[in-house]
Amino acid sequence: MAIYAVGDVQGCFNELQALLAKLNFGERDRLWFVGDLVNRGPRSLEVLRFVRALGERAVVVLGNHDLHLVTQHEGFERPRPDDTFQDVLAAPDRVELVDWLRQRPLMHAAEGYVMVHAGLLPQWSIARAMELAREVERALASPDYREFLANMYGSEPTRWSDALTGWDRLRVIVNAMTRLRFCTPEGKMDFRAKGAKPPSGYRPWFALRPSDEPPIVCGHWSALGLKLTARLAALDSGCVWGGSLTALRLEDRSIHQVPCRRRSSGGDS
């Protein structure tokens, strides 16, 4: 049995299928998805249906685009010009698919690895971050989940405090785990910069993590590209932007990639 962590798919269904064929993905193998299954690519509906049908063979953590789909489906956010998940919103099984997506975890830890979509603040140990992720997961799975969705968005507060309560507390957790790229050593987050160069006074979040923790698998940061170190596997290699879709085999840390079809053949992704 092999476990493969897969970078941001973002509706690139054809590339996902090509990657699995290249891996000879079998019935005993497992997939970890770093989040952002949907949006910006052309076939979000097929990606969702396929991954959901894998059942326990797939682990998915929530990304910012996944939450964007959930909030649009529930009527809390207006469509954006570059959204491409209208196929999901018009599907006859949209309720089942979005409900399934909404109840995916924010973090996953197993096999000596930790997976989160964007990042973790320097103040959080892995154990503490897992506890905080569970708080958000309970809110998303509760009968009152719509109230949380109505209060989830916003970039304030910009940093964590153990004294935070209510929506502010949950919002900081969501923002760190699904949006973070840069922060200060004190944990103040910046959400404006999206390139690879940090703003003055900020550093990439992973540069502030302790060196003795398990390696973290993440996505979200296509401008950073594939980055593999002893303590980090950043797998968003920008397939939806003409790059590649990447998988990391956890057992031996081998990298496997397929190119974006639009780049390599001019066809639809």
- Residues 124-155 have pLDDT tens digits of 999 999 999 999 999 999 999 999 999 999 99
Does residue 180 contact residue 119 with C-beta atoms inside 8 Å? Answer: yes
CA 57 – CA 246 distance, rounded (Å) = 18
Query: What region does 238 belong to: left with phi over 0, alpha with psi -120 to 50, or beta?
Result: left
* pLDDT tier at 78, thresholds 50, 70, 90: confident
Q: Does residue 223 have a pLDDT over 70?
A: yes
The contacts of residue 47 (CB under 8 Å, 6+ apart) are 9, 11, 12, 13, 16, 37, 38, 41
Q: What is the average per-residue pLDDT within 24-32? A: 96
The arithmetic mean of pLDDT across residues 111-115, rounded, is: 97
Please write the tens of the pLDDT for every residue from 13-26: 999 999 999 999 99
pLDDT at 263 over 60: no
What is the crossing angle of helices 44-53 and 13-23, to 10°? 40
Token digits for 184? 């200060």
- 198 preceded by cis ω (within 30°)? no
Token pair of 122, please? 């320097």
Strands (E), 163-265: 182-183, 189-190, 203-204, 216-218, 227-228, 232-234, 244-249, 254-259
Cβ 49 vs Cβ 21: under 8 Å: no
Q: What is the largest CA-CA distance in the chain?
A: 53
Given a contact cutoff of 8 angstroms between Cβ atoms, the answer to whether 127 and 230 are in contact is no
* pLDDT surpassing 80 at residue 267: no
Structural domains of the chain sorted by starting position, each given as residue range(s) with its CATH number in brackets: 3-264 (3.60.21.10)
> 79 pLDDT band (50/70/90 cuts)?
confident
**Cβ-Cβ contacts under 8 Å for 127 (sequence gap 6 or more):** none
pLDDT at residue 159 above 50? yes
**β-bridge partners, 90:** none
- Structure confidence at residue 65 (pLDDT): 98
> What is the pTM (predicted TM-score) of this model?
0.95
What does the mean pLDDT of the chain come to? 95
Length of the chain: 269
Euclidean distance between the first and the last CA atom of the chain, given in angstroms as a whole number: 29
Mean pLDDT of the 39-44 span:
96
- pLDDT confidence of residue 269: 33
**Is a pLDDT exceeding 50 seen at residue 102?**
yes
User: In this structure, what DSSP letter does residue 198 have?
Assistant: P
pLDDT at 56: 96
Percent of the chain with pLDDT over 90: 96
Please give the pLDDT value at position 97.
98
